[in-house]
């Protein structure tokens, strides 16, 4: 059985960018775990602030929304409440992430790209996700569980891909689970403006899935996609 770990800076990020991959994983019986480093309480909750909620109320709102979205996807979810805007990198926080790796034992890891001039929390989350992965592999690193293997890491698509040097080299066909992704998105009313944006993006990526798959696969006109960048080389005994 596979185990997918998604390291998300804020409570909503995993939904827009990776819900298709998560839903595909759980649909085939794999375990999927979302690790939200923060609730996105300061930086990605403008509507809740304008409605006059307190910081603690906003955290609770975002926690509930993200929990519902994870449930819609069949995923487990964990929050570290590390504080956003800014998300501060620290050895203590990396150590907490190492412990999640050792418990979840991921066979695949998804996180943010390392460049995002619009949002410093996203690359910070990615740096910590990568550092924790390396530490979790070390036999001598003191944390419960066994040393980690070498799960591949994929960066999911940022909101402004061109500015983030995001050039996809993996296109994921999410057609069979797109309704589930849409249902997860609709669990986040605080960011309602994103629902149609990410539906349209999935259509455009779907066109690219079809184009790159070629005509022989006979993918339907309605193909939906998500784009990823694979960080480490793929290991294979056969080029295909």
The footprint of Zn ion (CB under 5 A) covers 9-10, 13
* 8 Å CB contact between 154 and 36: no
Q: Which of 13/173 has CB closer to Zn ion?
A: 13
Q: Which of 134/194 has CB closer to Zn ion?
A: 194
Smallest distance from the beta carbon of 202 to Zn ion, in angstroms? Answer: 18
Q: Where are the beta strands (DSSP E) in the chain?
A: 3-8, 31-36, 76-79, 108-111, 153-156, 170-173, 225-230
End-to-end CA distance of the chain: 23
DSSP string, 116-156: -TT-THHHHHHHHHHHHHHHHH-TTS-SSSPPP----EEEE
Q: Which of 184/209 has CB closer to Zn ion?
A: 184
Smallest distance from the beta carbon of 8 to Zn ion, in angstroms? Answer: 7
Beta strands 225-230 and 153-156, pairing class: antiparallel
Smallest distance from the beta carbon of 48 to Zn ion, in angstroms? Answer: 15
Q: Which of 12/206 has CB closer to Zn ion?
A: 12
Please list, in sequence order, all residues whose beta carbon lies within 8 angstroms of the beta carbon of residue 229, skipping any fewer than 6 positions away.
113, 154, 155, 166, 167, 168, 169, 170
* 108-111 β-sheet, strand order: 76-79, 31-36, 3-8, 108-111, 153-156, 225-230, 170-173
Per the listing, tokens 């992704």 go with 181
Q: Which of 10/62 has CB closer to Zn ion?
A: 10
110 strand-pairing partners: 6, 154
Smallest distance from the beta carbon of 90 to Zn ion, in angstroms? Answer: 19
Q: Which of 130/219 has CB closer to Zn ion?
A: 130
Smallest distance from the beta carbon of 12 to Zn ion, in angstroms? Answer: 7
Smallest distance from the beta carbon of 51 to Zn ion, in angstroms? Answer: 20
| Residue nearest Zn ion by beta-carbon distance | 10
């Amino acid at each position: 059985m596979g185990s997918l770990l998604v390291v998300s800076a804020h409570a909503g990020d995993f939904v827009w960018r990776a819900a298709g991959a998560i839903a595909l994983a759980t649909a085939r019986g794999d375990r999927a775990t979302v690790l939200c480093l923060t609730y996105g309480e300061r930086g990605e909750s403008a509507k809740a602030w304008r409605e006059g909620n307190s910081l603690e109320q906003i955290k609770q709102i975002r926690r509930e929304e993200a929990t519902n979205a994870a449930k819609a996807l069949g995923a487990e979810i964990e929050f570290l409440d590390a504080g956003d805007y800014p998300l501060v990198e620290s050895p203590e926080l990396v150590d907490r992430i190492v412990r999640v790796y050792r418990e979840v034992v991921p066979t695949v890891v998804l996180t943010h790209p390392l460049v995002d001039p619009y949002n410093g929390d996203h690359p910070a989350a990615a740096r910590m996700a990568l550092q924790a992965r390396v530490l979790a592999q070390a036999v001598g690193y003191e944390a419960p569980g066994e040393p980690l293997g070498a799960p591949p890491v994929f960066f999911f698509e940022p909101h402004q891909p061109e500015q983030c040097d995001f050039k996809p080299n993996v296109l994921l066909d999410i057609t069979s689970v797109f309704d589930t992704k849409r249902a997860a998105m609709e669990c986040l009313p605080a960011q309602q403006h994103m629902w149609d944006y990410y539906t349209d993006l999935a259509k455009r990526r779907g066109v690219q899935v079809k184009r790159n798959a070629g005509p022989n696969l006979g993918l339907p006109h309605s193909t939906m996609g998500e784009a990823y960048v694979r960080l480490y080389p793929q290991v294979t005994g056969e080029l295909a």
